[in-house]
Amino acid sequence: MLLDIIATKYNYAGFIFLMCIGLWAMIGKRNLPKKILGMSIFQTAIMLFYISISVKTNATLPIIDAHGAHGHDLHVRAADYLNPLPHVLMLTAIVVSVATLGVALALVQKVYREHETLEEPEILEQLRK
C-alpha cells in the first residue's frame, strides 16, 4: 500500500523538499541575497509541481503536427497531447518570478547603498540607533 503510493506519487516528494528548502532559506537565513535565492527556489518548486500535473503517460508535447493531415480531416485526440494549461500558467509564473527577482535585487542594492551591509541583524542594529 505504502509502496504503491511511493511508486506512483514520488514526484510530489521532490517538489515538497525543494519548497521546504526555499521556505527555510526565506525564514531562517540572515543574509538578504540568500533570502532572495530561497524565494527563487520556492517559485521553482511550484513551477515544477504544476508542470508535473500536465504530464500524461503516452502523450507528446502540446504542439499538433499538422503537416501529415490537410485541413479539416485532422483528428486530434486530447489523450495524445500533454495538458497545455499548466504550461501556460507557468510561462506566466516564470516571467513574473524574473520580474520579482529583478525588483528584489534592486531593493537589495539600494539597502546595501544605505547600510553598507546585507546581513539582516546588522541592518536592524543600524536602524535602532
Select from 33, 52, 114, 122 the one that contacts other proteins (CB under 8 A). Answer: 52
Per-residue x/- track, 90-129, other proteins (CB under 8 A): -xx-xxx-xxx-xx-xxx-xx--x----------------
If binding is defined by CB under 8 A, does position 27 make contact with other proteins? Answer: yes
> Is 101 in contact with 36 (CB distance < 8 Å)?
yes
Helix axes of 2-28 and 32-53: crossing angle, nearest 10 degrees: 150
- Spatial neighbors of 48 by CB under 8 A, at least 6 apart, are 14, 15, 18
- Spatial neighbors of 66 by CB under 8 A, at least 6 apart, are 74
Which positions lie near other proteins, rule CB under 8 A? 5, 8-13, 16-17, 19-20, 23-24, 27-28, 52-59, 61-66, 72, 74, 76-79, 81, 83-88, 91-92, 94-96, 98-100, 102-103, 105-107, 109-110, 113
